[in-house]
């Protein structure tokens, strides 16, 4: 039987690095995944492990490079991991995927104390194969909500349609975004923060007739404002907030009470690309 595409690696490598400066500590909290491709057909078909990089070795390389570097730039760290494994004679392709978990400094002790931060999980990914090297970034678990300025009207109706139209509703979502950088994009550490800020700004800078419209507006704003970004893919679940009819309890219904549902939910996805 022929062997198709195959790869392997080490996933969920948890790395917390604490750099102890004389007056202020710096914290990075990461989850790293390394995946390799190479001349490994015989590993699968013949049980011959010659030249195979152990996944335990991959984990240790992540720890060692994290110790050697400042981690001031996550794109540079991901690139260093890929470069390290590409130097191995049996490796033809490598991927380093980094999730950076947010922490926020405590007001009472900003030098040495943190609480879990908000604003989503940062993603950085570098991948390389014989065709070259590519770099992408993104954000996950970014919870956003608008209490006004969102409607949903004029959609198709048939005998199965029960959803009422509305000209004012809560729009809530959990944004997942992934964007690809152009070659030579510059300071990607700074670019990531600017793209995130653009997504936040574009979520609220318009009247929203649908989640689809808002998704496109967010992607359009990123591509328009950031020449470093070639394309962006967005996934926006519609986390419905359904009004509760409290009048049935003998209470004045001012449409202030909602039931926040988790399932089922609408899911809207699209990619916005540069011309």
Q: Could you say which of 55, 57, 92, 121 is catalytic?
A: 55
70 as an active site residue: the answer is no
Q: Could you say which of 84, 97, 226, 240 is catalytic?
A: 240
Distance CA 213, CA 21 (A): 46
Best CA proximity match to 137, nearest among 58, 60, 206, 222: 222
pLDDT tens for 47-72 read: 999 999 999 999 999 999 999 998 99
Contact 206, 148 (CB under 8 A): no
- Radius of gyration, CA atoms only, the chain: 23
Segments making up each domain of the chain, as ranges: 1-130, 138-275
CATH: 3.50.50.60, 3.40.630.10, 3.10.270.10, 3.20.20.100. Which one for 138-275?
Answer: 3.10.270.10
pLDDT tens for 127-143 read: 999 889 999 999 999 99
Q: Could you say which of 10, 97, 135, 226 is catalytic?
A: 10
CATH top class, domain 1-130:
alpha beta
The distance from CA 270 to its chain's CA centroid, rounded to whole angstroms, is 15
pLDDT tens for 177-197 read: 999 999 876 789 999 999 999
Whether the pTM exceeds 0.85: the reply is: yes
DSSP string, 152-192: B-S----TT--PPPBSS--EEEEEEEEEEEPTT---HHHHH
55 as an active site residue: the answer is yes
Strand residues in 210-265 grouped as ranges (E): 229-238, 241-243, 258-260
Same fold, 1-130 and 138-275: yes
CB neighbours of 275 closer than 8 A, spacing ≥ 6? none
For position 77, what pLDDT does the model report? 97
25 as an active site residue: the answer is no
């Amino acid at each position: 039987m022929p062997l198709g595409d195959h790869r392997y690696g080490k996933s969920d490598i948890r790395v917390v690095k604490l750099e102890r400066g004389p007056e202020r500590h710096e914290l990075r909290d990461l989850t790293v995944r390394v995946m390799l491709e190479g001349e490994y057909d015989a590993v699968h078909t013949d049980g011959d492990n010659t030249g195979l990089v152990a996944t335990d070795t991959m984990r240790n390389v992540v720890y060692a490079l994290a110790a050697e570097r400042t981690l001031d730039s996550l794109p540079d760290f991901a690139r260093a991991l890929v470069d390290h494994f590409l130097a191995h004679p049996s490796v033809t392709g490598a991927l380093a995927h980094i999730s950076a978990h947010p922490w926020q400094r405590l007001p009472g002790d900003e030098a040495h104390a943190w609480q879990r931060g908000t604003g989503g999980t940062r993603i950085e990914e570098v991948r390389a194969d014989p065709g070259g090297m590519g770099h992408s970034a993104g954000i996950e678990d970014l919870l956003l909500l608008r209490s006004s300025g969102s409607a949903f009207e004029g959609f198709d109706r048939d005998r199965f349609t029960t959803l009422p139209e509305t000209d004012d509703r809560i729009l809530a979502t959990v944004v997942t975004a992934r964007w690809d950088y152009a070659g030579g994009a510059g300071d990607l550490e700074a670019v990531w923060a600017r793209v995130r800020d653009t997504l936040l700004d574009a979520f609220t800078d318009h009247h929203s007739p649908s989640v689809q419209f808002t998704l496109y507006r967010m992607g359009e704003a990123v591509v328009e404002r950031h020449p470093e970004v070639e394309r962006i893919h967005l996934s926006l679940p519609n986390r419905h907030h359904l009004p509760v009819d409290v009048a049935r309890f003998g209470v004045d219904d001012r449409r202030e009470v909602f039931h926040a549902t988790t399932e089922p939910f609408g899911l809207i996805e699209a990619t916005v690309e540069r011309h």
